[in-house]
Amino acid sequence: MHEAHRNFRAVWPSLFATAMGLMAFLPVLPLYVKERFGFDDGDSLTCWASLIYGAAPFAAACAGPFWGALGDRVGKKPMAIRANLAIAATTALMPLAPTPMWLLVMRALQGLLAGYVAPAMALASQSVPRESHGRVIARLQVAMATGTFLGPQIGAEVSHWCGRESLFFVASGLSLFAALWLRLGAVETTAPPRHARFVVEFAAAARTLFAGRVFPALLLLVFVFRIGQNMLEPLLALFVRQLGPEPWLLQCSETPTLALDRTIAAAFGVLAVAQWFCTPMWGRLADRHGPLRCLALASLAIALLQLGMVLVGTTRQFLLLRCLTACFMAGSMTLAYAAVSKRVPDQHRTFAFALVQSCIQFGLAVGPVLGALVAASDGAEPELRRAFLASACLCALAGIGMIRLRRRSTASTA
């Protein structure tokens, strides 16, 4: 079997399993924090939920470049396996946290030791021609989208029957499976270079990647875009709680709590459904018209839709706008990776992907905290509509910056 096909068949299920496990508990993490630690004040709950949610991506963003450069040195397969084992171990410890601070520490440790996306994608694309990277990365995004769709659905049912604490053990088991699947299925026949010291290689790779203007500018714009895109993601459960569960789900659910969980699962599930249908399309558009142009279009469209969220009055209106937003969110990661993949040397691709992932993770970490600050109020409930407005402004700023960057770029591929 060709190396590229074998690695793809190993990486696809591993990304699917890990994403499904993480998304089993992440959508309802604010509700778990409220129930586990007994928060009554809305601002305190919003603050702690945002910090705990964002601790993992923040730590992952800090450690990502190190793991990426180490992956270029010791191999992508070992790094992907190590990351999944780290997720399995740290997630299993989270239900044991006695205070919100300890849960925050566990999430930070999870992010610090994780970083599974960049080495997995680099492993799957290492033997693929550059002109096909957009499509390969898009297909891998579909794997994560499938896990993103099934995770909240499984989480809603498991938490109803076994309690929310059991979701962490589900996530741990799925990450352990992902590590085992990679160990048995993936191959890496190209030996990474070991002739120089790691610190020297790290510095040389950084100098190479940041020598031009386009790559660092693109990282900054991706960061701004992801802040805007992710300001409300960890707080959507609280927004849905304010609007109330979807009526037809309330009718077919045994309890209002189960109906609320299923509504939250639907809000996150539409992202995955959109990725199934839209991510391959974004991959083809990236290969045909240039990923930076497409990423700018997605940023501006999400800005308009986030403005619409400010005006919604019912859960159904929110879900409809969420579906439209998901169609453009589906292409954001694929387009960012594709834009970078065509601009970096092969020997530094894992490092470059890790830098992109760090920007995405920093946005995921900073966005919720900024959203909580913008939404803070003196009442019992946070003003989340203000955060939607701020999100729209940041996405629009990123989109305009990408248009300007593309016009100024001298690269042959947009």
Q: What is the mean pLDDT of residues 107-131?
A: 81
Residue 414 lies in a domain: no
The band of 138, judged by pLDDT with boundaries at 50, 70 and 90, is confident
Q: Which pLDDT value is given to residue 195?
A: 52
Q: What is the pTM of this model?
A: 0.72
Range in 33-42, 50-59, 333-342, 397-406 the model is least confident about: 333-342
| Backbone region of residue 153 per phi and psi (left: phi > 0; alpha: psi in -120 to 50; beta: other values) | alpha
> What is the pLDDT, as a whole number, of residue 133?
66
Is residue 97 domain-resident? yes
% of the chain at pLDDT higher than 70: 90
What is residue 1's predicted lDDT score, i.e. its pLDDT?
47
Q: Whose structure tokens read 């990450």?
A: 175
Q: What CATH number corresponds to the domain at position 115?
A: 1.20.1250.20
**Per-residue pLDDT tens digits for 170-199:** 999 999 999 999 999 888 766 555 555 656
Diameter over CA atoms, the chain: 65
Residue 131's pLDDT is 62
Q: At what angle do helices 42-74 and 349-375 cross, to 10 degrees?
A: 170
What's the mean per-residue pLDDT of the chain?
84
Calpha distance 110→61 (Å, rounded): 12
The answer to whether residue 47 is domain-embedded is yes
Residue 147 lies in a domain: yes
Q: What is the pLDDT of residue 306?
A: 94
Of the two residues 73 and 299, the one the predictor is more confident about is 299
Contact 301, 328 (CB under 8 A): yes
Q: What pLDDT, on the 0 to 100 scale, is given for residue 378?
A: 66
How many Cα neighbours within 13 Å face the side chain of 409? 21
Q: What is the pLDDT of residue 414?
A: 44
- pLDDT higher than 50, residue 130: yes
Average pLDDT score over residue span 238-247: 88
Give the pLDDT band of residue 27 (cuts 50, 70, 90): confident
pLDDT beyond 60 at 211:
yes
From the list 309, 306, 331, the residue with the least C-alpha distance to 318 is 309
- Gyration radius of the chain's alpha carbons: 20
1: how many CB neighbours lie within 10 A of its CB?
8
> pLDDT-based confidence at 346, cuts 50/70/90?
low
Kindly indicate the confidence band of residue 411, based on its pLDDT and cuts at 50, 70 and 90: very low
Total structural domains within the chain: 1
Give the pLDDT band of residue 413 (cuts 50, 70, 90): very low
Domain span holding position 58: 3-186+193-408
Domain membership flag for residue 69: yes
Instruction: Using the predicted structure, report yes or no on whether residue 165 has a pLDDT greater than 70.
Output: yes
Return the HEC string of the chain: CCHHHHHHHHHHHHHHHHHHHHHHHCCCHHHHHHHHHCCCCHHHHHHHHHHHHHHHHHHHHHHHHHHHHHHHHHCHHHHHHHHHHHHHHHHHHHHHCCCHHHHHHHHHHHHHHCCCHHHHHHHHHCCCCHHHHHHHHHHHHHHHHHHHHHHHHHHHHHHHHHCCCHHHHHHHHHHHHHHHHHHHHCCCCCCCCCCCCHHHHHHHHHHHHCCCCHHHHHHHHHHHHHHHHHCCHHHHHHHHHHHCCCHHHHHCCCCHHHHHHHHHHHHHHHHHHHHHHHHHHHHHHHHHHCHHHHHHHHHHHHHHHHHHHCCCCCHHHHHHHHHHHHHHHCCHHHHHHHHHHCCCCHHHHHHHHHHHHHHHHHHHHHHHHHHHHHHCCCCCCCCHHHHHHHHHHHHHHHHHHHHHHHHHCCCCCC
Residue 240 has pLDDT above 60, yes or no: yes
Mean pLDDT of 346-358: 74
- Both tokens of residue 76? 């992508």
Is 22 within a domain?
Answer: yes
- At 65, which amino acid appears? P
Q: What percent of the chain has pLDDT over 90?
A: 30
What's the average model confidence in pLDDT over 140-156? 87
Lowest mean pLDDT among 78-87, 189-198, 309-318: 189-198
Question: Per the domain annotation, does 413 fall within a domain?
Answer: no
